């Protein structure tokens, strides 16, 4: 039995029919490299073999009416691969638009909490002869870093099936025990949480004080609820739209080196430029810069003051996106300045402050409040917390094979929220920068316009390098 951390469990509490808390990886693969030829039944059998060495794919949620703490993970003794790996064909002609529409429909479906919280859809019938593997995993059981690690466990350097790690095969979340769930939950609630709160309060006081001090000297990252309103900042529905783009990593590095900035600065500048183009075309560009929230991994942070370590080890950093600047080079230089300010400010804040406060997340209260918040469309009643969520995850810079099939692209897609209906996630792999855009169809029915703008933005910066 493994207890969820407060942050892990919060993704369960925040989930409603419209606000779905799963992360997605769209993996485009070439089936011609599969040993002895492609066959769905053979691919599913190999996936079943690999899952034996991926403990996170074999665990499911469990709880007790007497548990006053967060839920737990237990081993699924009735695991059945056919309940997780499915096959579907994309409608003709099988282009990128049809694939994105099908994946958008699947992205709008809830995961069954009665089984391990993941599923894999094998999408056949692509016009280029390739296959798309769509992996959905609930955020309660993974973050950006662990998602990449899980994906890596399904990938190899050659098409041949690998030997499995015997220690991972033996690893187990353990059997259910209602008495243990209740007893350890009571211990955490009445003993561990008060001790954690006593340590947390002194660490928290310095956050607003430092923020105010930096704001007075114009050296603070933007505060929550200070972002301008856009179409992305209203209540979302269950409908999802997807846009995809793939850029050359060498081109991005050329821009980085020429202007003396970081890759993340280039990524954020491309995001700002693409959103500027999109909002201008719709005559909706705010006068003020947009605000992005960038997830930051804290896997190396000290965890001694946490009640439960959990799986999600992440915090967030706010940064302005200079969408008010027309010139792409000036926008990049300003973005680098904004990023430096945000990083310096963020470095002063306790890396585990979000995870620490999430320990006290009240499950029933938070779930009820989120349903009321969505049903009453309260996201439009206050200033946006931020405008867009932008995540940049570094992957392997060499060829990989997914269950024996050569990987040609990996597009990540993160969740969206009421009032925060646009997620842009970037994953670099094998010489490419893969960009996945997830939006609410009722807010952004045309995310491909944003996706296509990335290529144009990069071309403008490359032209400035000549």
pLDDT digits (tens, 9 = 90+) for 427-458: 999 999 999 999 999 999 999 999 999 999 99
Residue 413 forms part of a structural domain: no
Q: Is 369 in the same domain as 232?
A: yes
Which pLDDT band, with edges at 50, 70 and 90, does 143 fall under?
confident
- Whole-number Å distance between alpha carbons of 51 and 46: 9
Give the orientation angle of helix 447-465 with respect to helix 328-347, to 10 degrees.
100
Q: Is 12 in the same domain as 157?
A: yes
Q: Is 385 in the same domain as 280?
A: yes
Note down the domain range covering 266. 227-394+424-465
- Whole-number Å distance between alpha carbons of 319 and 327: 19
Q: Is 170 in the same domain as 285?
A: no
Q: Is 366 in the same domain as 452?
A: yes
- Whole-number Å distance between alpha carbons of 214 and 59: 44
H/E element, 91: none
Which pLDDT band, with edges at 50, 70 and 90, does 341 fall under?
very high
Which pLDDT band, with edges at 50, 70 and 90, does 153 fall under?
confident
Q: Is 367 in the same domain as 442?
A: yes
**Among the listed residues 124, 127, 121, the one whose alpha carbon sits nearest the alpha carbon of residue 95:** 127
Residue 197 forms part of a structural domain: no
Q: Is 19 in the same domain as 94?
A: yes
Residue 210 forms part of a structural domain: no
Percent of the chain's residues with pLDDT above 70: 100
Final residue in a domain of this structure, among 160, 182, 204: 182
In the prediction, which pLDDT does 190 show? 92
Which pLDDT band, with edges at 50, 70 and 90, does 148 fall under?
confident
Final residue in a domain of this structure, among 150, 182, 214: 182
CB atoms within 10 A of CB 344: 13
In the prediction, which pLDDT does 311 show? 84
**What are the tokens at 193?**
């949480």
Final residue in a domain of this structure, among 182, 217, 241: 182
Active-site entry in 139, 299, 345, 418: 139
Q: Is 174 in the same domain as 278?
A: no
In the prediction, which pLDDT does 78 show? 94
Concatenated DSSP letters of 384-412? -S-SEEEEEEE--SS--EETTEEEEEEEE
What CATH number is associated with residue 60? 3.30.559.10
In the prediction, which pLDDT does 397 show? 87
- Answer whether residue 145 shows pLDDT above 80: no
CB 309 within 8 A of CB 5: yes
- Whole-number Å distance between alpha carbons of 350 and 295: 15
CB atoms within 10 A of CB 373: 19
Which pLDDT band, with edges at 50, 70 and 90, does 417 fall under?
very high
Residue 402 forms part of a structural domain: no
Instruction: Give 3-state DSSP helix, strand, coil % of the chain, rounded to 5.
Output: 40, 20, 35
At residue 192, the 3 state secondary structure works out as helix
What CATH number is associated with residue 272? 3.30.559.30
- Answer whether residue 395 shows pLDDT above 90: no
Q: Is 36 in the same domain as 96?
A: yes
- Answer whether residue 301 shows pLDDT above 80: no
Q: Is 235 in the same domain as 109?
A: no
Q: Is 172 in the same domain as 245?
A: no
In the prediction, which pLDDT does 144 show? 76
Residue 304: partners with Cβ closer than 8 Å, 6 or more residues away: none
H/E element, 295: strand 290-297
Average pLDDT over residues 363-378: 95
In the prediction, which pLDDT does 149 show? 77
Percent of the chain's residues with pLDDT above 90: 85
Average pLDDT over residues 220-247: 96
- Answer whether residue 159 shows pLDDT above 80: yes
Average pLDDT over residues 55-73: 94
Residue 296 forms part of a structural domain: yes
Q: What is the pTM of this model?
A: 0.95
Q: Write down the mean pLDDT value for the chain.
A: 94
Q: Is 418 a catalytic residue?
A: no
Q: Is 241 in the same domain as 175?
A: no
Residue 216 forms part of a structural domain: no
Residue 408 forms part of a structural domain: no
- Answer whether residue 303 shows pLDDT above 90: no
Greater confidence, 155 or 243? 243
Residue 192 forms part of a structural domain: no
Report the DSSP beta bridge partners of residue 298: none
* Counted domains in the chain: 2
């Amino acid at each position: 039995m493994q207890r969820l951390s407060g942050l892990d469990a919060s993704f369960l509490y925040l989930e409603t029919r419209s606000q779905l808390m799963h992360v997605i990886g769209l993996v485009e693969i070439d089936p011609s490299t599969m040993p002895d030829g492609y066959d769905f039944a053979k691919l599913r059998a190999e996936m079943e073999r690999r899952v034996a060495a991926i403990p996170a794919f074999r665990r499911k949620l469990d709880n007790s009416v007497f548990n006053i703490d967060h839920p737990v993970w237990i081993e699924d003794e009735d695991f059945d691969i056919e309940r997780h790996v499915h096959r579907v064909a994309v409608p003709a002609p099988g282009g990128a638009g049809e694939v994105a529409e099908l994946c958008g429909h699947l992205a709008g479906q809830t995961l069954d909490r009665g089984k391990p919280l993941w599923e894999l859809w094998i999408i056949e019938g692509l016009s280029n002869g390739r296959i798309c593997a769509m992996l959905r995993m609930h955020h309660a059981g993974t973050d950006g870093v662990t998602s990449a690690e899980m994906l890596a466990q399904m990938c190899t350097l050659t098409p041949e099936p690998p030997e499995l790690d015997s220690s991972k095969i033996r690893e187990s979340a353990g059997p259910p025990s209602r008495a243990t769930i209740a007893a350890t939950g009571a211990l955490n609630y009445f003993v561990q949480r008060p001790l954690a709160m006593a340590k947390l309060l002194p660490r928290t006081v310095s956050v607003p004080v430092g923020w105010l001090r930096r704001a007075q000297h114009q050296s603070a990252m933007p505060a929550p609820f200070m972002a301008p309103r856009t179409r992305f900042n209203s209540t979302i529905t269950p409908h999802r739209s997807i846009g995809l783009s793939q850029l050359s990593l060498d081109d991005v590095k050329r821009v980085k080196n020429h202007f003396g900035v970081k890759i993340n600065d280039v990524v954020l500048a491309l995001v700002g430029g693409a959103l500027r183009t999109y909002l201008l075309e719709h005559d909706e560009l705010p006068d003020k810069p947009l605000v992005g929230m960038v997830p930051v991994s804290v896997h190396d942070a000290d965890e001694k003051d946490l009640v439960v370590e959990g799986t999600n080890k992440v915090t967030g950093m706010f940064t302005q996106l200079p969408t008010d600047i027309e010139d792409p080079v000036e926008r990049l230089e300003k973005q680098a300045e904004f990023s430096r300010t945000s990083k310096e400010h963020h470095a002063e804040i306790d890396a585990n402050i979000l995870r620490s406060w999430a320990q006290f997340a009240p499950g029933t209260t938070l779930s009820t409040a989120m349903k009321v918040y969505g049903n009453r469309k309260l996201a439009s009643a206050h200033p946006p917390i931020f405008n867009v969520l932008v995540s940049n995850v570094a992957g392997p810079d060499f060829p990989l094979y997914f269950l024996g099939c050569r990987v040609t692209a990996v597009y990540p897609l993160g969740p969206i929220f009421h009032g925060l209906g646009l997620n842009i996630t970037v994953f670099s792999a094998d010489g490419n920068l893969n960009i996945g855009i997830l939006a609410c169809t009722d807010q952004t029915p045309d995310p491909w316009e944003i996706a296509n703008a990335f290529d144009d933005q990069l071309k403008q910066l490359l032209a400035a390098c000549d």
